[in-house]
Structure 1
Amino acid sequence: MATYEYRCQRDGSFDTILPIGTAGMSTHCPSCGGRAVRVFSTPGLVRTPTALRQAVDRAERSAETPDVVSRVPGGRPVRRSRHPAHARLPRW
């Protein structure tokens, strides 16, 4: 069995599972019954690792609604030099 993608002008894209090689160039939309044409897209052969998928999902969500933080994450202690010339350097 293979998954075929079709696009209806009214309802958008939907998938249909059919035996390999039996999909036509058009079919009926399951929502409205209208004509839907076949869309040729890349096959889903590779499975994305869970950690990568979660990172991509977080990045996509933060594009619209970024997380607000109250402090810099990490909490590393600040290392201060005791050299007298370093005291004259600008601080950020």
Structure 2
Amino acid sequence: MARYQYLCRECGPWIVVLPMGTAEAARRCPACGGRSKRQWTAPSLNLMDRRLGRLRRREEAGRDVPEVTTAVPPAARRRPATDPRHVTLPRP
């Protein structure tokens, strides 16, 4: 579904949601019934979910500019030995 904006001279701009490509050049205003001309507007790309947008930008950036590691990752924390015999074993 696409959003189309129309401009009524009496009531101002209003939006209708229709299947893509089915909007007429002029429609009747739902408030006053006057003739409203269709306005050309940018697509509503800002309505995308933020998480999805972040993932899509990351995916697109990874195609040409992959993420590069610039530092050694921190070492994993070791759990303390629970068996006292393990203390005498050699460490890797």
- Normalised TM-score (structure 2): 0.49
**Pair member with larger Rg:** 2
